[in-house]
Amino acid sequence: MELVTMKELMEEAHRGHYAVPAFNVCNLETIQGVLEEAEEMQAPVILQTHWSEAYYSTPQTVVDMVRSVGKNKRIRAAVHLDHGSSYEDAVRCIQGGFNSVMYDGSQLPLDENIRILKQVVELAGYAKVTVEGEIGTIGQTSEMGEKLEKSYLTSPKDAQKLVDETQIDCLAVAIGNAHGFYTENPKLDFDRLKEITEVVKIPLVLHGGTGIPEEQIQKAITMGVCKVNFSTVLRKSFISEMQAFMEADPENLGLMDILDAGKNSMKAAVKESVEMCMCQGKL
Ligand code: 13P
């Protein structure tokens, strides 16, 4: 396995007109599931942990697991902090060996978001680590409606200011996407995305990949999205399969068998996401 920066993976994706999928992982089995499927499909991938997933063990444990599982596999991957909540999260993850970090200051006033992102970019520069920022708030699907659709969407003008002033490597945008299962088909705001791409010239990131129809994901990719995040869909398939396995054979206390069932089911979701991002065979 070659650990490469997310910046490098996204630039290749941009040139090749595909996106790199970023999968949330939190333990050995989720890391195995992503890397085994990535090797099978010869697809570049990003393994990412929300800050809470990084601290479920430690950032260094996450990186050690990725290195160990990836050893002797023909793959290229980056390890990324998803929705870091503070400068300190970035420090801890970079110290642990992450080669990419997100600082999510989207809930803060713009100037405060910019101030902290600048500090993260300076720190990351010394360590040659990629930085993702966010502007506009990518909320939860439970907040869909007026709130998510209007006031929280990314303003192209603010996005331009944030990127110009911070020099981040990539930007997460809110264009009608949200985390979790959508209760109705989302409709990404492609006019807004176009306006953003006219003033922001770095790779864009689409969060909330679970449940966005394939044609919308692929249209967003053709317009400049280079990374798409998937989490809920993986957890759902992992957990549902474990539940089914345990219901079918309640006396079986083979923990490895139960986890293995979950992991194998999750791999189907990884495969589907790789295909949506059109990155199979793009190593
Ligand atoms: P989903 O859980 O909706 O797939 O979103 C994942 C994500 O964007 C993580 O940051």
Ligand 1 atom nearest to 82, measured from its CA: 10
pLDDT (0 to 100) of residue 151? 62
C-alpha to C-alpha distance for 209 and 198, rounded to whole angstroms:
23
Could you tell me the distance, in angstroms and rounded to a whole number, from the CA of residue 249 to the centre of ligand 1? 32
Cα of 231 from ligand 1 centre, angstroms? 5
Rg, Å, the chain Cα set: 18
* DSSP codes joined into one string, 12-42: HHHHHT--EEEEE--SHHHHHHHHHHHHHHT
Percent of the chain with pLDDT over 70: 97
pLDDT above 90 as % of the chain: 93
Distance 79 CA to ligand 1 centre (A): 16
Beta strand pairing call for 100-103 and 76-84: parallel
258-275: pLDDT as tens digits: 999 999 999 999 999 999
* Pocket, ligand 1, Cβ cutoff 6 A: 24, 82-83, 179-180, 207-210, 229-233
Place of tokens 């393994």: 47
**Residue type present at position 181:** F
pLDDT tens, residue by residue, 25-84: 999 999 999 999 999 999 999 999 999 999 999 999 999 999 999 999 999 999 999 999
Residue 123 CA, ligand 1 centroid: distance in Å: 26
pLDDT value for 69: 98
CB count within 10 Å of CB 52 equals 11
Per-residue model confidence (pLDDT) at position 152: 85
Ligand 1 pocket mutation, candidates 232, 236, 272, criterion most atoms within 8 A of CB = 232
Under DSSP, the state recorded for 172 is E
Tell me, in angstroms, the distance from the centre of ligand 1 to residue 3's CA.
22
Sign of the dihedral through C-alpha 199, 155, 132, 29? negative
pLDDT in tens, 197-223: 999 999 999 999 999 999 999 999 999
Cα–Cα distance measured from residue 177 to residue 211, given in angstroms and rounded to the nearest whole number:
10
DSSP type of residue 155 = P
Side-chain-side CA neighbours of 210 within 13 Å: the count stands at 19
Q: Which of ligand 1's atoms lies nearest the C-alpha of 180? A: 3
Question: What SS3 state is found at 270?
Answer: helix
The dihedrals phi and psi of 49, each to the nearest 5 degrees, come to -125, 130
Which residue from 143, 229, 237 has its CB within 8 A of the most atoms of ligand 1, so it is best to mutate?
229
Reported as a single tens digit per residue, the pLDDT across 135-170 is: 998 888 876 665 555 568 999 999 999 999 999 999
DSSP character for 274?
H
Ligand 1 pocket test: which of 6, 20, 23, 24 has the largest number of ligand atoms within 8 Å of its C-beta? 24
Question: How many angstroms separate the CA atoms of 107 and 119, rounded?
Answer: 17
pTM given for the model: 0.96
> H helices of the chain, where?
6-16, 28-41, 51-56, 59-70, 87-96, 110-127, 146-149, 156-166, 190-199, 214-222, 232-248, 255-277
DSSP strand pairing (130-135 vs 100-103):
parallel
Mean pLDDT, range 121-132, rounded to an integer = 97
